[in-house]
Structure 1
Amino acid sequence: MTSGTADLREALPADGRREAPDYPIDGAAPQIAQQPRTREELAGLLASATEAGLAVVPQGSRSALDLGRPIDRYDVALDMRGLDGIVDYEPADMTVQVGAGMTLRALRAHLAEHGQYLPADPPPGDDVTIGGLLATARPGAWRGHMPAARDLVIGMEVALPDGSLVRSGGRVVKNVSGYDLHRLHTGALGTLGVIVEASFKLVPLPPATRSFAVRRPSVRDAARLAIELRDAALPGRALSVLAPEAAVRLGLPDDAHVLLELAGYESALDAATTRIRDVTERSGGGLGDAPSGAWDALRALTGATDGVVLRLGVPATRIAATIEAARGLRGTAWGHVAAGSVVIHAPAIDVTSVRVLRRNVEAEGGFLVVESGPPALRAVVDPLGASTRDLVGALKRQFDPTGTLSPGRWEVGL
């Protein structure tokens, strides 16, 4: 332990100390680990670390630490789970203010008592923290059907590397630099500042949900049916195309499938079910109930940390071809029609294959993100794409010029 980290450790509250070996990232452990209990303690830690030239990596449920490049330095693990309470909740106004360390599962349980929820389904599941949900901005099957979490944020408090606490409130409040604060930090992986609290606009909890699976002879047939269902104006919350390998992982037969979730009032779901049955019967498919837990299993697959997980943005009309290409990589894949995305999970994918996939999707205006993979792959293949890297890189130089927060996550030195 260096003198700088030793001094910082002694200056921090003893009851917030954690065992550093419990916080490895890419095989490396920090010198110290700390779990602040107050915003002031968090701000002080950042200010002291910046002054001492130490690298701090914020983390919550630790479910997305493969997102981005391998970090260059790792001195301090900042465990945000100590800031985990509901700060303010007004059911009548349908707004909630919550600490960044609270899990989505705990928040859901509290809001459900009042018939409300935050419509977010990030991978790998509801045990993600609210801060992690925003910092990673990882989409799930609901994307395209429901607002993105960042679009529901109406306020945010962020701790900057110099120890400043910056707060926004309301839909259009901006910080002193002229940026929309919550959009600035959503998806930045905690590299510009550390989200302390967030306020959300909520939506009513659907009175009922139904999930269906439709078996199809090929991925292309499944994709055609899914697009037809998308255009049928259904009260859908998720609509996905599964390769046979993905279907098996969800407890379905070894064939391509369409997986569909409806949400709303029972009367609306009854009418929608009739329309879905008509469409599927015309196409030669049979409508059946999806296995219990199918959507949770799909979220877990999306957030898997074994092997390689890629997320590709493609037009809905290219979902089938992209899934078929993934099967050639000895992996499995599934696509979300409303969002125009395909997720690929494979035991291993070589650098050349990733670059070819990226070149092909970018030629059609799409993108490729390496959601998870070994450090050797993430070090040589830009995991997040050049356009995003360049944008965040410019902001990183302004907000964190000393490279305190997760240095190297976007590129070497950033």
Structure 2
Amino acid sequence: MASSDLIEVLPKIQMKQNHEERHPLGNGGMQMMEAHSEADISKVLGYANKYDKTVNIVSGGTKRGYGGVIEQADILLSLAEYKGIIDHSVGDLTLTVRPGTTLKEITDEIGKKGQHVALDTPWPEMATIGGIIAANDSGAKRLLYGSARDLVIGTRIVYADGKVIRTGGKVVKNVAGYDMNKLFIGSMGTLGVISEITIKLRPLPKYEGLFLLHFPKGNEQAIREFSVLILDSMMEPVSLEILTPFVAKKMTGEDHYTLAIAFEDRENAVLDQEDWVERHVPKGIKHFVLHAEEARHWWERFRHIGPNGYNDEKGEAKTQAALKIGSNNLDVLLILKAADRLAEEYHVSVEAHGGLGHGISRVYVKGFPEAIVSYIKALRAKVEEKQGYVVCTHLPFILRETISVWGERPNYFALLEGIKRTNDPKRILNRQRFVGGI
């Protein structure tokens, strides 16, 4: 692209040639273009659409290793500087924000008003709200609070041709009809660029507690029975997360399967629920409780497990991968056990945890590239036997060329392809980043 072609798109200071060496995670671009406004996004996409230029989108960079089998697009559109809160309606418990704002920046600002975004995604000081929404990311506390898909009530989207649309609204109660937000949440930026997000907030909990129960190996049935007891009760935990012994050792010092049950509410409500758990803990199970600042610190450390797009280490033996596994919630423990067992077989190291309430597990793998690929294939086969799925949410580019990030194309792939064709007929946005190579 000649500079004369670009001079009318963005100011020169917002453009630069990308001279970085081949990035191990790919998803780069030869021309870096930095958006500072929605108009900037629209101009870049309008230019790209007119001249058939492909565009990759980046912001915080924590999702750079998530999907994509084209190493470099023509343009790398950065939203990292397009940040800030547009509107915070304290009384309505809603927030409108630009996509480049990190979750921590949001949390710090609206926390002053006693509110928060109920998303506990990894690396909040790096992950931007736009990337979180585009990937429909979530954490262990989705058991009570839901995922990004449950919290977004409105967006502004820049289509591939530069046109801007609004979906949803800025109030929690909208008129009935198709919820167009759902189309873009989790689509990995392949249908349009999110330029504004309106999200539901919650009051900051007055008090929080974290109950940690350590189950020796061989007591897996007791974990299942106790989890079912909680799920069938009137208790309202925000998490029911099982940690494998390796993760539990790092987080608690105990080398056992560990159940992390969190409560967030008024102090009396939290203590009452913890008292119920105390009275129902199986005999002989070691346990302890963290409260307030101790519990918050524990979760802060927990959110820093796994790769973040920047902490990949040099050396083939230290290659990292991250997997998101969806299954029946009560199959989570079986899947985590299989993850540990296969780690020994394929000589990789694994850190894993999963939600016995929501059925989403996270597995972080480290080892030689070939071993990681074989491990993922073997684990995917085990999970699919249980009618679950495995998605690679972090994988070096060279490995994404050898194993499908998303698994087999789903039966409804033709529908996804049709939506892509309608929204982005020239396929310029995050090409081959989503399911089935969309």
Task: Judge same fold: TM > 0.5, yes or no.
Answer: yes
Q: What residue in structure 2 maps to residue 140 of structure 1?
A: 139
Question: For the Cα contact (< 8 Å) 2:117–2:202, is it kept in 1?
Answer: yes
Q: What does 1:140-179 correspond to in 2, within 5 Å?
A: 140-170=139-169
Q: What residue in structure 2 maps to residue 14 of structure 1?
A: 12
Counterpart AA for 2:434: W
**1:362 Cα deviation after fit:** 2.8
Give the Cα–Cα distance (whole angstroms) in 2 for the partners of residues 19 and 244 of structure 1.
Answer: 47
Q: Equivalent residue of 2:330, what SS?
A: helix
Question: For the Cα contact (< 8 Å) 2:102–2:125, is it kept in 1?
Answer: yes
Q: What residue in structure 2 maps to residue 367 of structure 1?
A: 389
Question: For the Cα contact (< 8 Å) 1:223–1:319, is it kept in 2?
Answer: no
**1:371 Cα deviation after fit:** 1.3
Q: What residue in structure 2 maps to residue 295 of structure 1?
A: 299
Q: What residue in structure 2 maps to residue 239 of structure 1?
A: 240
Give the Cα–Cα distance (whole angstroms) in 2 for the partners of residues 197 and 54 of structure 1.
Answer: 24
Question: For the Cα contact (< 8 Å) 2:26–2:70, is it kept in 1?
Answer: no
**1:289 Cα deviation after fit:** 3.1
Give the Cα–Cα distance (whole angstroms) in 2 for the partners of residues 375 and 31 of structure 1.
Answer: 16
1:155-212 superposed Cα distances (whole Å, 9 cap, x missing partner) = 11000110101112336579xxx96321111001111100000111222211111112
Give the Cα–Cα distance (whole angstroms) in 2 for the partners of residues 236 and 147 of structure 1.
Answer: 13
Give the Cα–Cα distance (whole angstroms) in 1 for the partners of residues 437 and 11 of structure 2.
Answer: 30
1:67-87 superposed Cα distances (whole Å, 9 cap, x missing partner) = 123236412111112221211
Give the Cα–Cα distance (whole angstroms) in 1 for the partners of residues 122 and 249 of structure 2.
Answer: 19
**1:390 Cα deviation after fit:** 5.1
Give the Cα–Cα distance (whole angstroms) in 2 for the partners of residues 95 and 283 of structure 1.
Answer: 45
RMSD: 2.6
Counterpart AA for 1:333: A
Question: For the Cα contact (< 8 Å) 2:9–2:47, is it kept in 1?
Answer: no
**1:6 Cα deviation after fit:** 6.4
Q: What residue in structure 2 maps to residue 86 of structure 1?
A: 85
Q: Equivalent residue of 2:303, what SS?
A: helix
Q: Equivalent residue of 1:62, what SS?
A: coil
Q: What does 1:26-105 correspond to in 2, within 5 Å?
A: 26-27=25-26, 29-71=28-70, 73-105=72-104
Q: Equivalent residue of 1:40, what SS?
A: helix
Counterpart AA for 1:68: G
Q: What residue in structure 2 maps to residue 332 of structure 1?
A: 351
1:244-295 superposed Cα distances (whole Å, 9 cap, x missing partner) = 1111232422222111211000010111111111122x33213213576332
Q: Unmatched 5+ residue regions in structure 1?
A: none
Give the Cα–Cα distance (whole angstroms) in 2 for the partners of residues 88 and 247 of structure 1.
Answer: 40
Q: Equivalent residue of 2:379, what SS?
A: helix
**1:139 Cα deviation after fit:** 2.2
1:120 counterpart = 2:157: no
Counterpart AA for 1:288: F
Question: For the Cα contact (< 8 Å) 2:87–2:97, is it kept in 1?
Answer: yes
Which of 404, 420, 425 matches 1:396? 420
Q: Equivalent residue of 1:345, what SS?
A: strand
Give the Cα–Cα distance (whole angstroms) in 2 for the partners of residues 172 and 391 of structure 1.
Answer: 26
Q: Equivalent residue of 2:156, what SS?
A: strand
Give the Cα–Cα distance (whole angstroms) in 1 for the partners of residues 225 and 377 of structure 2.
Answer: 28
Give the Cα–Cα distance (whole angstroms) in 2 for the partners of residues 90 and 275 of structure 1.
Answer: 37
1:407 counterpart = 2:408: no
Counterpart AA for 1:142: K
Moved more, 203-212 or 217-226: 217-226
Counterpart AA for 1:347: K
Give the Cα–Cα distance (whole angstroms) in 1 for the partners of residues 79 and 285 of structure 2.
Answer: 48
Give aligned pairs, total: 408
Q: Percent identity?
A: 26
Query: Residues 338 and 10 of structure 1: is their aligned pair in 2 closer, same or farther, counting only changes over 3 Å?
Result: same
Query: Residues 29 and 344 of structure 1: is their aligned pair in 2 closer, same or farther, counting only changes over 3 Å?
Result: closer
Q: What residue in structure 1 maps to residue 379 of structure 2?
A: 357
Moved more, 316-325 or 228-237: 228-237
Q: What residue in structure 2 maps to residue 210 of structure 1?
A: 209
Which of 308, 312, 318 matches 2:331? 318
Give the Cα–Cα distance (whole angstroms) in 2 for the partners of residues 389 and 68 of structure 1.
Answer: 17
Question: For the Cα contact (< 8 Å) 2:143–2:240, is it kept in 1?
Answer: no
Alignment TM-score, normalising by the size of structure 2: 0.85
**1:140 Cα deviation after fit:** 0.9
1:342 counterpart = 2:361: yes
Q: Unmatched 5+ residue regions in structure 2?
A: 313-319, 344-349
**1:350 Cα deviation after fit:** 4.0
Give the Cα–Cα distance (whole angstroms) in 2 for the partners of residues 26 and 148 of structure 1.
Answer: 25
Q: What residue in structure 1 maps to residue 315 of structure 2?
A: none
Query: Residues 140 and 195 of structure 1: is their aligned pair in 2 closer, same or farther, counting only changes over 3 Å?
Result: same
Counterpart AA for 1:295: W
Counterpart AA for 1:241: I
Alignment TM-score, normalising by the size of structure 1: 0.90
Q: Equivalent residue of 2:29, what SS?
A: coil
